[in-house]
Amino acid sequence: MKKFYSVLFLVLLSLGVLAGCGETKEIKEESKPATEEKVEAEFPVTIKDALDNDVVIEAKPEKIVSLIPSNTEIAFALGLNKEIVGVSDFDNYPEEATTKEKIGGMEFNLEKIISLNPDLVLAHASSAHNSTEGLQQLRDAGITVFVVQNAANFDEVYETIQVIGTVTGEKEEAEKIVANMKAKIDEIKTKAASIKEKKVVFVEVSPAPDIYTPGKNTFMDEMLTMVGAENAASDLEGWVKIDQEAMIERNPDVVLTTYGYYSEDPVGQVLSREGWGNVTAVKEKQIFDVDSDMTSRSGPRLVEGVEAIAKAVYPEVFK
């Protein structure tokens, strides 16, 4: 049970419930690429973080500690494998992240972080209010702390990637990542435009009896819209605990679960759920488990999450 609540906390945390100057030198022998010169020219840089603090990054960080999986995934996507020296206990992607020093879970280990001697700590707004004192102790130790915003939609995810790119000296790479994400989303929307009859989809991010579902103004609601589906809980706000009877009355065509990584046979759980026998999704066995990380972490893999949802809901369209 303790493990369940820890995992649920992490899921809801991930979901959001709870640039300088320099004189250009001609060095023909080294043939330095223009991108490298541009990166060097970006420091020092002053940028506001999610807490409205003016954070000064004096030079390109050589050692980075990330306090939340979404920040870590973005940093790795930016090519910062070498620079990342510490990650949270929950970090599991990419594989290289599992080999980094662990700095704690819901409560980070101050001594461990300080011992790693990082130039930059990437914190996150979703948990900053619970670690105000700890973050200040890191600052007092001479460590630069940047609190990343809690992105609530795709546009804010794009902004987050670009901001992390800026503070780590990988702005151009961040812009490439965002451009690729937008291009893939456009492809998905183009295919979805051909759908004539929208399916009603119910999403469960935790199993019975405490079923939580995404309402409007959430990543999942936006994802369902992108693939041409209708959210069964679109009249609700944010991430909410749903009454099963109310959901049965909504009679969804498809049920998506996101807890298969810690709960055994989520599809079977829904199919055998008492009182759900007449729900269309159950009768037609349209129950699918999708990867929680890809559909909740505010990073580059959200596009893969959209693709997974699209293939589950409309396999005939998104082959």
Asked whether the predicted pLDDT for residue 1 surpasses 60, the reply is no
Place of tokens 């969804």: 252
Main-chain dihedrals φ then ψ at residue 288, nearest 5 degrees: -140, 140
Confidence of residue 33 (pLDDT cuts 50, 70, 90): very low
Bridge partners of 256, per DSSP, are: 203, 288
Condensed to tens digits (0 to 9), the pLDDT of residues 161-208 reads 999 999 999 999 999 999 999 999 999 999 999 999 999 999 999 998
Structure tokens at 175: 């812009």
What pLDDT score was predicted for residue 95? 96
Whole-prediction pTM value?
Answer: 0.85
Residue 241 per-residue DSSP state = E
| Of 227, 201, 253, the residue nearest 317 (C-alpha) | 227
Condensed to tens digits (0 to 9), the pLDDT of residues 80-117 reads 999 999 999 999 999 999 999 999 988 899 999 999 99
Kindly report the length of the chain.
Answer: 319
**Which range has highest mean pLDDT (236-240, 257-261, 281-285)?**
281-285
Distance of alpha carbon 61 from alpha carbon 143, whole angstroms: 11
What pLDDT score was predicted for residue 28? 34
| Of 317, 213, 198, 311, the residue nearest 258 (C-alpha) | 213
Dihedral through CA 120, CA 123, CA 125, CA 126, nearest 10? 170
Distance of alpha carbon 312 from alpha carbon 116, whole angstroms: 43
What pLDDT score was predicted for residue 128? 85
Q: What percent of the chain has pLDDT over 90?
A: 77
Residues 6+ apart with CB under 8 A from 105: 6, 88, 89, 90
What pLDDT score was predicted for residue 10? 52
Mean residue pLDDT of the chain comes to: 88
**What residue type is assigned to position 45 of the chain?**
V
> What is the arithmetic mean of pLDDT over 20-37?
37
Structure tokens at 72: 């870590």
Domain boundaries, the chain: 37-181, 194-313
User: Helices H, strands E: what count in the chain?
Assistant: 14, 13
Condensed to tens digits (0 to 9), the pLDDT of residues 139-160 reads 999 999 999 999 989 999 999 9
Q: Which residue has the higher pLDDT, 313 or 209?
A: 313
Asked whether the predicted pLDDT for residue 48 surpasses 60, the reply is yes
Query: Is 194-313 in the same CATH topology as 37-181?
Result: yes
Asked whether the predicted pLDDT for residue 57 surpasses 50, the reply is yes
Distance of alpha carbon 268 from alpha carbon 272, whole angstroms: 6
Quote the radius of gyration of the chain (alpha carbons, Å).
Answer: 21
Bridge partners of 257, per DSSP, are: 204, 289
Bridge partners of 84, per DSSP, are: 64
Of 10-24, 174-188, 236-250, the least confident: 10-24
Distance of alpha carbon 149 from alpha carbon 160, whole angstroms: 7
**Cβ atoms 205, 256 nearer than 8 A:** no
Q: What fold characterizes domain 37-181?
A: Rossmann fold (3.40.50)
Class of the 194-313 domain?
A: alpha beta
**What residue type is assigned to position 301 of the chain?**
R
